[in-house]
């Protein structure tokens, strides 16, 4: 049964959802970006939301990287980080995302001269507002920026394990340029983080092949793989991921936007599901890729044949493999058990 967008979007919007892979720094939608740019006197190359949206039509990873770093410049004070986080909370609430694990990269802000205390206070305040004003629970994944740190990643680890860490950090991530910076370089950092009770949540197998995923599994003891879509090139790896039920944080529109898949139809999402892998569906950098979790689930249904039951299952799976408190998991599980069927005509294909 395939539903039209008109029938499915209202259902997807009210479906209680969980997102595990999105970046705070990639979530600044044009109105938020312009608001913060104006407050800080930063020129982002556009004066209206429409104009800024036009800039988001980047043609390459380099364009994306340039825009991403321009965007960072609007985040300076605790108030900026709080407003950005609260705006993300409002957007997630609009889609009924009930719980999200949001990645942020402390080192990139520290290198820009943002005081650790400002960053911490902003994240704490924004997370509080996301919950009290919008009812959305957020947790943080702080990630190492592969290319901008020494292999020991001391700066990120000291920050995370020190007194200036924000509240609600559940894991250590590994982001940035994958090619040339294999997981093995960061083994010590992840061992320290795991010893301190943080989950290992690296990006791997996004732009680099199976070796990167094996590295994340063996060297970093990854409990989930950010992206991981390149696993299909190695049947032994696919079998391992399936057998150990290692979740992949798949972000189809991101992969298409960054030219890792030629089109949504050529994205391996359907193949990953057919292999019996444990898949969660995510937006990655939703503002830049102009997507929402609702859009991603719609794509999974219409293009890759995920039934509504399968979509509900992806939310239950995301919840199970999240680091949400047990009470939160129980509440959202209960909400998911109450989801009504889609109201509207569908068609069998």
d(CA 133, CA 135): 6
- Binding range to Zn ion, per CB under 5 A, among 29-37, 157-165, 179-187, 281-289: 281-289
- Binding range to Zn ion, per CB under 5 A, among 154-162, 213-221, 277-285, 302-310: 277-285
- Binding range to Zn ion, per CB under 5 A, among 12-20, 90-98, 179-187, 279-287: 279-287
User: Total binding residues for Zn ion by CB under 5 A?
Assistant: 1
19 touching Zn ion, by CB under 5 A: no
Tell me the closest approach of the beta carbon of residue 319 to Zn ion, in angstroms.
20
125 touching Zn ion, by CB under 5 A: no
Other CB atoms within a 10 A radius of the CB of residue 331 amount to 17
Closest CB to Zn ion: residue number: 284
Q: Cβ closer to Zn ion: 215 or 286? A: 286
Which of 19, 178, 206, 249 is labelled catalytic? Answer: 206
Q: Cβ closer to Zn ion: 19 or 284? A: 284
Q: Cβ closer to Zn ion: 121 or 249? A: 249
295 touching Zn ion, by CB under 5 A: no
Tell me the closest approach of the beta carbon of residue 339 to Zn ion, in angstroms.
28
Q: Cβ closer to Zn ion: 137 or 284? A: 284
- Is residue 206 annotated as a catalytic residue, yes or no? yes
Residues with Cβ within 8 Å of residue 205, at least 6 apart in sequence = 212, 213, 216, 225, 227, 228, 229, 230, 231
Which of 284, 295, 296, 317 is close enough to bind Zn ion by CB under 5 A? 284
- Binding range to Zn ion, per CB under 5 A, among 126-134, 280-288, 298-306, 332-340: 280-288
Tell me the closest approach of the beta carbon of residue 109 to Zn ion, in angstroms.
17
91 touching Zn ion, by CB under 5 A: no
Q: Are 238 and 275 in contact (CB under 8 A)?
A: yes
Q: Cβ closer to Zn ion: 8 or 102? A: 102
137 touching Zn ion, by CB under 5 A: no
Binding footprint of Zn ion on the chain (CB under 5 A) = 284
Question: Which residues does the annotation mark as catalytic?
Answer: 206
């Amino acid at each position: 049964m395939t539903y039209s967008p008109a029938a499915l979007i209202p259902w997807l919007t009210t479906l209680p959802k969980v997102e595990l892979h999105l970046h705070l720094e990639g979530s600044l939608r044009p109105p938020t970006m312009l608001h913060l740019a104006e407050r800080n006197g930063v020129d982002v190359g556009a004066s209206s939301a429409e104009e800024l949206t036009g800039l988001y039509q980047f043609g390459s990873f380099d364009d994306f990287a340039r825009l991403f770093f321009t965007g960072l410049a609007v985040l300076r004070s605790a108030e900026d980080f709080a407003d950005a986080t609260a705006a993300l909370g409002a957007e997630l609430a609009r889609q009924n995302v009930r719980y999200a694990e949001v990645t942020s990269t402390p080192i990139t802000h520290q290198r820009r001269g943002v005081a650790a205390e400002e960053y911490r206070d902003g994240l704490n305040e924004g997370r509080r507002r996301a919950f009290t004003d919008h009812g959305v629970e957020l947790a943080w994944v702080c990630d190492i920026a592969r290319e901008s740190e020494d292999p020991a990643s001391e700066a990120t680890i000291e920050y995370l394990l020190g007194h200036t860490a924000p509240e609600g950090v559940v894991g250590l991530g590994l982001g940035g340029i994958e090619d040339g910076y294999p997981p093995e370089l960061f083994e010590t950092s992840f061992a320290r983080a795991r010893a301190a009770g943080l989950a290992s949540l690296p990006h791997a197998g996004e732009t680099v092949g199976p070796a990167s995923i094996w590295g994340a599994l063996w060297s970093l003891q990854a409990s989930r793989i950010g992206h991981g879509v390149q696993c299909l090139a190695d049947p032994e790896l696919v079998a391992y991921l399936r057998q150990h039920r290692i979740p992949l944080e798949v972000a189809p529109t991101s992969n298409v936007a960054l030219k890792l898949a030629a089109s949504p139809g050529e994205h391996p999402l359907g193949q990953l599901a057919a292999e019996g892998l444990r898949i969660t569906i995510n937006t990655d950098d939703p503002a830049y890729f102009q997507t929402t979790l609702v859009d991603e689930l719609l794509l999974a249904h219409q293009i890759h044949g995920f039934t509504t039951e399968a979509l509900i299952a992806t939310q239950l799976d995301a919840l199970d493999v999240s680091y949400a408190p047990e009470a939160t998991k129980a509440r959202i599980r209960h909400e998911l058990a109450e989801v009504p069927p889609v109201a509207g005509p569908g068609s069998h294909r």
